[in-house]
Chains A and B, each alone.
Chain A
Amino acid sequence: MIGTGILKGLAETARNFFLSYVSKDRLTTVQYPEQRLPQIEAARNFPFLVYDGAEWDAGMRCVACQICEKECPPKCIFIEKSKDKKPDAVGKPQFYPARFDIDISVCMSCQICVEVCPFDAIKMDVEFDLPTDDRFAGLMLDRHKLSKSNEYYHEIHPTEATAVDTALDAERAKAAAAKAAAAAPKPASPAATAASAASTPKPTEGESK
């Protein structure tokens, strides 16, 4: 018959209209600022820095290698290497970022920084609710604002975080074993680490200038 399709459609919308007042589970949307849907595990938005332990300053995994800064397509990462060194997750003395800023107004959420990070220090966050009344300084996140604990990482991406932790633990165990093995011939090991640490920063510094 003519027009049955239209009538069917009208009946459907009418049913939606009235039943949406009756059954609450028809309402597919939530009242956003108060209610939030749980994020799916693969969700990603802007990068953050992972730290281990309780203190963000001490446990930061980032060693300021500046690979992410170089790889970042829109160039939204700004890193300043520290002058001194701190022991990293494995226990090796490393540089740390004296300054680590991400301009999230520029960031395009491509996740390349995460892919290239050899230290599993930068990961993607699920936080998308970042409104601010200052569109320049407010969207320039410094290293304090960026750093989130490993527990938080487990919370938002459990599978991924477990895999990362397993890998890190394996590495730590390897490093501990190596340390134990190297404990006997004492003078060799610090000299080697110092030499490797001294050789790496030079080219990067030259490039960053």
Chain B
Amino acid sequence: MIVAAVNAGSVDQVFVLAKHALLARTPDALQPLASAIISIIPLLVVFPSLFAITTVLERKGLGRMQNRLGPNRVGPFGLLQPAADGIKALIKEDVVPAAADQLVHFFAPVIFVAAAFVAYAVLPIGRNMVLVNLNAGVLFFFAVGSVVELSVFMAGWSSRSKYSLLGAMRAIAQMISYEVPLVLASVPAIMQAGSLSTVDIVNAQAGYTGIWPHWYLFTPWGIVGFGLFLIAATAESNRSPFDLPEGESEIIAGYFIEYSGFKFALFFLAEYLGMFATSALGITLFLGGWSAPLGISLFTVVPSYIWFFAKLLGFICFFIWIRGTLPRLRMDQLMGFAWKFILPMALLNIFVTGLWRFLPASPLNSIRWIVCAAVLAAPCVVLSMSLKQKKKLLIRTYHFAE
């Protein structure tokens, strides 16, 4: 067991050790710069590659959900499709509308991508693997996320196109409405960990009772918070069923319709990077970050970053699954859902987290569990019943959905 742990430790820390080894060879004056570069470059390589993998995964997954094959022409099983897409985006003509506000039009995708990348600075992707351990890490994440709204506005406004502007307005309204529940859904985890630092939050979830991990997901407020976070994250990253800002069938591509070639690809990249970043924050807050899901040596031996990326992949698959299943919401449904259901539930969840903290844990853990779950479940049922539409819809029949 101990030998295994030591071996696991060295494999686990291989990147950290490699960085230290590299740093030891650089002159002292350059060390801060070298340290930053060594840490940033992997992020700049890994997450865009993940984006490339996700695009093909998404298209194949969606295809299978619709009983199609998905892309299968470029390379074996269509796996080189992202390369083909990338080359196409690179060699395409970059069209800027004649009426566009040139400077703002140019800076919108740049700021979008920059904000999406900067958010990764505080996300721990493995044990000791975080770019900066900021004291106010979660706040930093949300502050950077709010810059995205501005770049969306810049893109939509500077294009001087009604579709762009409509898309931008929708996107901003949606992002502001769902940023509030996103932040409020993260508050319970911050309260319980007693820190805004992402590393501290992960460390607070480390450790196991028997083989059961101390993730916040396994508490009543954690389940609700995670669910709300997931919904708000889907909306925040403009993904189906909350993809009104893009709404291919109504406003074609929303705020980035007037972009072409590489700038379009940048928007695409930034959207996916934002989705990964929000998912990674969800993992950090509720799923114990990089820690193994079960406290058995078979699992803990696996390096921490592999667990992190496995969880991230799980998130991505879930998002694809949701996208393949749910139809797009209407604007009033979207707003009503945010302000009438998610927001009250998130506020209640914060209250329940306080309750959880102050109820005695040791003798009556199950009673604490039941009390908190009941306090959450009753309003949830009442709210959702009262918001439910009382419309009788005809049953539709499908070819394969018997």
A–B contact with Cβ pairs below 8 Å: the answer is yes
Question: A199 near B: Cβ within 8 Å?
Answer: no
A17 engages B326 (CB within 8 Å): no
> Is A162 interfacial (CB-CB < 8 Å)?
no
Interface string of B284-321 (1 = CB under 8 A from A): 00000000000000000000000000000000000001
A21: nearest chain-B partner, CB-CB: B64
B contact residues around A12 at 8 Å (CB): 325, 401
Q: Are B69 and A17 in contact (CB under 8 A)?
A: no
Asked if B400 is an interface residue, CB under 8 A from chain A, the answer is yes
A4 to B25: give the CA distance in the assembly, Å.
Answer: 59
Q: Which of B324, B380, B400 contacts A26 (CB 8 A)?
A: B400
B325–A9 touching, CB < 8 Å? yes
Residues from chain A with a CB closer than 8 A to the CB of B385 are 2
* Interface pair B65/A28, CB less than 8 Å apart: no
B61 contacts partner chain A, Cβ-Cβ < 8 Å: yes
One digit per residue, 1 when the CB lies within 8 angstroms of any chain A CB and 0 when it does not, for chain B 366-402 equals 0000000000000011001100100000000001110
- 0/1 per residue, A154-183, Cβ < 8 Å to B? 000000000000000000000000000000
Let me know if A20 and B64 touch, CB within 8 A.
yes
Which of chain B's residues have a CB closer than 8 A to the CB of A17? 61, 64-65, 321, 324
Contact residues of A between 1 and 45, Cβ < 8 Å to B: 2-3, 6, 9-10, 12-14, 16-17, 20-21, 26-29, 31
Residues of the A chain whose Cβ atoms lie less than 8 Å from the Cβ of B66: 16
Q: B67 interface residue, CB < 8 Å from A?
A: yes
- Whether A13 pairs with B65 at a CB distance below 8 angstroms is yes
Task: Specify which chain A residues have a CB less than 8 angstroms from the CB of B61 in the assembled complex.
Answer: 17
Q: Residues of A contacting B64 with CB < 8 Å?
A: 16-17, 20-21
Q: How far is the CA of A10 from the CA of B324 in the complex (A)?
A: 8
Contact among A2, A6, A26, A31 for B67, CB-based, below 8 A: A26
Give the distance in Å from the alpha carbon of A26 to the alpha carbon of B64 in the complex: 10
Q: Is the CB of A10 within 8 A of B401?
A: no
Cβ–Cβ < 8 Å partners of A20 in chain B = 64, 67-68
Q: CB distance B69 to A27 under 8 Å? A: yes
List chain A residues, Cβ under 8 A from B67: 16, 20, 26-29
Are the C-beta atoms of A6 and B400 separated by less than 8 Å?
no
Count of chain B residues with a beta carbon within 8 Å of a chain A beta carbon: 21
Is the CB–CB distance between A28 and B321 below 8 Å?
A: no
> Chain B residue with minimal CB distance to A3?
B384
Report yes or no: A6 in contact with B326, Cβ–Cβ below 8 A: yes
Distance of A25 from chain B, by nearest CB (Å): 10
Q: Which chain B positions have C-beta within 8 A of A10?
A: 321-322, 325
Q: How far is the CA of A27 from the CA of B385 in the complex (A)?
A: 39
A13 and B400 in contact, given A26-B67, A27-B68 (Cβ under 8 angstroms): no
Q: Which residue of the partner chain B has the closest CB to A14?
A: B321
Contact present for A2 and B68 (CB under 8 Å): no
Which residues does chain B contribute within 8 Å of A6, judged by CB atoms? 325-326
A29–B381 CB distance below 8 A:
no
Which residues of the other chain, A, contact B381 by a CB distance below 8 angstroms? 2
A-side contacts of B326, CB under 8 Å? 6, 9
* Shortest Cβ distance from residue A2 to the other chain B in the assembled complex, whole angstroms: 4
Most chain A CB neighbours (cut-off 10 Å) among B388, B399, B401: B401
Interface centre among B66, B322, B381 (most CB of A within 10 A): B66
Take A2-B381, A2-B384, A2-B385 as given contacts and tell me if A13 and B69 are in contact as well, using a CB distance cutoff of 8 Å.
no
A21 contact set on B, CB distance < 8 A: 64
In the bound complex, CA of A10 to CA of B67 (Å): 15
Q: Which residues of A contact B400 (CB under 8 A)?
A: 16, 26
Docked complex: A110-136 residues within 8 A CB-CB of B: none
In the bound complex, what is the Cα–Cα distance between A59 and B168 (angstroms)? 63
- Please provide the chain A residues from 130 to 144 with a CB less than 8 Å away from any CB of chain B in the complex: none
Nearest-neighbour CB distance to chain A for B47, whole angstroms, equals 26
Docked CA distance A13–B68 (Å): 12
Alpha-carbon gap, A21 to B322, bound state (A):
20
Residue from the set B61, B68, B380 with the largest chain A CB neighbour count within 10 Å = B68
Interfacial chain A residues near B324, Cβ < 8 Å = 13, 17
Which of B61, B64, B72, B381 neighbours the largest number of chain A CB atoms within 10 Å of its CB? B64
CA distance A108 to B50 in the complex (A): 44
Q: List 6 A-B contacts (CB under 8 A).
A: A2-B388, A9-B326, A10-B322, A27-B67, A27-B69, A31-B69
Q: What are the 7 tightest A-B residue pairs by CB atom distance, in nearest-first order? A: A13-B65, A2-B384, A9-B325, A13-B325, A17-B64, A26-B67, A20-B64
Given A12-B325, A16-B400, output 11 extra A-B contacts at Cβ < 8 Å: A9-B325, A10-B321, A13-B321, A13-B325, A14-B65, A16-B65, A16-B66, A17-B61, A17-B321, A26-B67, A27-B68
